[in-house]
Amino acid sequence: MKTYTFKLRKGIKFHNGEPFDSAAVKFSFERNAVATSTNKDKSLFQSFESIATPDADTVVITLKNAEPNFPFLLGQASASIVEPKSAPTNVTQPVGTGPYQLGAWAKGSSITLNKWADYRNASAIKLSKVTIRFISDPAAQAAALLSGDVDAFPRIATRVVAQFKADPRFTVLIGGSKAKTIVAINHRKKPLDDVRVRRAILAAIDRKAIIEGAVEGFWYADRQLLHAGIARLCRYHRHQPYDPEKAKKLLAEAGITAPIELSLKLPPPPYARQGGEIVAAELAKVGIIAKIENVEWAQWLSQVFAPNGPHNFDLTIVSHVEPFDLVKITEPDYYLGYNNAAFNALYKQIVATPDDTARAKLLGDAQRMLATDAVSAYLFQPQWPTVISKKLKGVWKEVPQFENDFSAWSWE
Domains of the chain: 3-89 (3.90.76.10), 152-175+386-412 (no CATH), 180-380 (3.10.105.10)
Per-residue pLDDT of the chain (412 residues; tens, 9 = 90+): 799 999 999 999 999 999 999 999 999 999 999 999 988 888 899 999 999 999 999 999 999 988 888 898 898 889 999 999 999 999 899 999 999 999 999 998 999 999 999 999 999 999 999 999 999 888 999 999 999 999 999 988 777 888 999 999 999 998 877 788 899 999 999 999 999 999 999 999 998 888 776 665 444 434 444 434 343 444 444 556 889 999 999 999 999 998 999 999 999 887 898 889 999 999 999 999 999 999 999 999 999 998 888 999 999 999 887 777 788 899 899 999 999 999 999 998 988 888 889 988 999 899 889 989 999 998 887 778 899 999 999 999 887 777 889 999 999 9
Please report, for residues 64, 152, 389, the alpha-carbon distance to residue 219 in angstroms, rounded to integers and kept in the order given.
40, 17, 20
Taking the C-alpha atoms of residue 389 and residue 342, their distance in angstroms, rounded to an integer, is 51
Contact 232, 381 (CB under 8 A): yes
User: Does the global pTM surpass 0.85?
Assistant: no
Contact 24, 11 (CB under 8 A): no
Please tell me whether the peptide bond between 99 and the residue prior to it is cis, using omega within 30 degrees of 0: no
